[in-house]
Amino acid sequence: MFGFTRRSLVFAGLLTAAFAGPVAAEEAKLPVVASFSILGDVVARVGGERVAVTTLVGPNGDAHVWQPKPADARLVAEAKLVVINGFGFEGWMPKLAAAAGGKAPIVVATTGIAPRQAAEDDDHDAGKGHGHDHDKGGHDHGGLDPHAWQSVANVVAYVATIRDGLIAVDPGGRAVYEANAAAYRAELEALDAEVRAAVATIAKEKRRVITSHDAFGWFADAYGVEFLAPQGISTEGEATPKGVAKLIRQIKAEKITAVFVENMTDKRLLDRVAKETGVTIGGELYADALSPKGGPAPTYVDMVRHNVRLLTKAMAGV
Ligand code: ZN
């Protein structure tokens, strides 16, 4: 077709990317902006065909250190609804909303959920701040643990809040939003039961995991798995043999069964940890973002299943 301009071809290409990135909303649909990929998926499930969801921080993105660009302010300005997590996760949102003119209503998905305090200092560490991804990057959660989505029951609450937010800006879609929310809620409740059943297969004393990403406090509280920060391994920079020796001592002393140290990429050091302690080195847990399509965690439900599969496999030592 000779009638296509280069620009319209680019636009058509962008549309096929769905909500995986900052994409122009389709005219007929309600333009909704979600702050990060996990929330974008949840909003898309509740909104269904009526909404065009744009995610600011896309798959594999780090919302903690993200910096909005002028194009993001335009997206927020054009949105009929903005959905954020809250609990201090999106420290950049007030500025972005102001830059966008502050017109679109903002729904905070964690509204009504009793907050959980973040581990301020952990007694497994000599006060160096190691193992605290979230103290890095110059952001501040105000002492709250924002990772509420790691408990599926919280996402059931997100769904109700998002449903009501959508109905408020698009009352004509009430029946659709209510039906979508009810169906998704049933799926999430089954997922929550699935997680409990999976964890129940692991002996209580084996539910002790080390992870460098301090994002599983909500999961720990909800499902009874203990997550400890690694000693000796900084979240910045290379692991040293001395640090690894310290980690090995911790694993033995605390009877840890599984280690997920995402930033520790030196295979020889990981092999040494595994060999000297007998722990299983797990794969990559998804904490704050989905994977791209085709990856192991393209949706929230997939993400929870992926994490639980990895955790239970590592804790069981198989
Ligand atoms: Zn995080």
- Judge whether 13 lies within some domain: no
99 plus 229 within the same structural domain? no
- Judge whether 173 lies within some domain: yes
Note the pLDDT of residue 234: 65
Fill in the amino acid letter for 132. Answer: H
Domain count, the chain: 2
Q: How far is the CA of 286 from the centre of ligand 1 (A)?
A: 10
Note the pLDDT of residue 235: 57
Q: How far is the CA of 215 from the centre of ligand 1 (A)?
A: 5
Q: Give dist(CA 200, CA 192) in Å, integer.
A: 12
293 plus 229 within the same structural domain? yes
Note the pLDDT of residue 120: 58
Domain stops at, among 186, 215, 245 = 186
- Judge whether 11 lies within some domain: no
181 plus 211 within the same structural domain? no
Note the pLDDT of residue 91: 94
Q: How far is the CA of 287 from the centre of ligand 1 (A)?
A: 6
Q: How far is the CA of 221 from the centre of ligand 1 (A)?
A: 16
27 plus 176 within the same structural domain? yes
229 plus 164 within the same structural domain? no
181 plus 65 within the same structural domain? yes
Through-space distance between the first and last CA atoms of the chain, rounded to whole angstroms: 56
Q: How far is the CA of 175 from the centre of ligand 1 (A)?
A: 34
252 plus 171 within the same structural domain? no
Q: How far is the CA of 228 from the centre of ligand 1 (A)?
A: 15
| Residue 292 Cα distances to 21, 58, 261, angstroms | 10, 8, 21
Quote the distance between the C-alpha of residue 151 and its chain's center.
11
Exposed (0-12), middle (13-18) or buried (19+): which is 284, by Cβ within 10 Å?
A: middle
248 plus 136 within the same structural domain? no
Q: Give dist(CA 304, CA 152) in Å, integer.
A: 8
- Judge whether 129 lies within some domain: yes
Note the pLDDT of residue 263: 59
Closest C-alpha to 37, from 74, 15, 62, 11: 62
88 plus 225 within the same structural domain? no
- Judge whether 263 lies within some domain: yes
> Which token pair is 43?
């909003």
Q: How far is the CA of 22 from the centre of ligand 1 (A)?
A: 21
Q: How far is the CA of 294 from the centre of ligand 1 (A)?
A: 23
Domain stops at, among 186, 203, 224 = 186
Domain stops at, among 186, 213, 242 = 186
28 plus 148 within the same structural domain? yes
- Judge whether 1 lies within some domain: no
Domain that holds residue 164: 21-186
Question: Residue for token digits 């904490």?
Answer: 287
Question: Residue for token digits 């310290």?
Answer: 246
Q: How far is the CA of 174 from the centre of ligand 1 (A)?
A: 33
- For residue 227, what are the β-bridge partners? 209
- Phi, psi torsion values for 52, nearest 5 degrees: -115, 110
Check: CB of residue 246 under 8 Å from CB of residue 232. yes
Task: Quote the mean pLDDT of the chain.
Answer: 84
115 plus 167 within the same structural domain? yes
Check: CB of residue 71 under 8 Å from CB of residue 22. yes
- Judge whether 41 lies within some domain: yes
- Judge whether 76 lies within some domain: yes
Q: How far is the CA of 65 from the centre of ligand 1 (A)?
A: 10
Dihedral, CA of residue 176, residue 178, residue 180 and residue 186, to nearest 10: -160
Q: Give dist(CA 234, CA 243) in Å, integer.
A: 8
Q: How far is the CA of 44 from the centre of ligand 1 (A)?
A: 22
Q: How far is the CA of 172 from the centre of ligand 1 (A)?
A: 36
Q: Which residues contact 189 (CB under 8 A, 6 or more apart)?
A: 152, 156
pLDDT below 50 — which residues of the chain? 1-23, 25-26, 121-140
Q: What is the DSSP string of the chain?
A: -TT--HHHHHHHHHHTTTTSSS-PPPTTSEEEEEEEHHHHHHHHHHHGGGEEEEEEE-TT--TTT----HHHHHHHHH-SEEEE--TTS-TTHHHHHHHTTS-S-EEETTTTSPP-B--SS-TTS-SS-TT-GGGSTT---TTB---GGGSHHHHHHHHHHHHHHHHHH-GGGHHHHHHHHHHHHHHHHHHHHHHHHHHHTS-GGG-EEEESS---HHHHHHH--EEEPPSS--SSSPPPHHHHHHHHHHHHHTT--EEE-TT---HHHHHHHHHHH--EE------SSPPPTTSS-SSHHHHHHHHHHHHHHHHHT-
29 plus 176 within the same structural domain? yes
Residue length of the chain: 318
CATH code of the domain covering residue 68: 3.40.50.1980
Q: How far is the CA of 169 from the centre of ligand 1 (A)?
A: 30
> Which token pair is 86?
């809250």
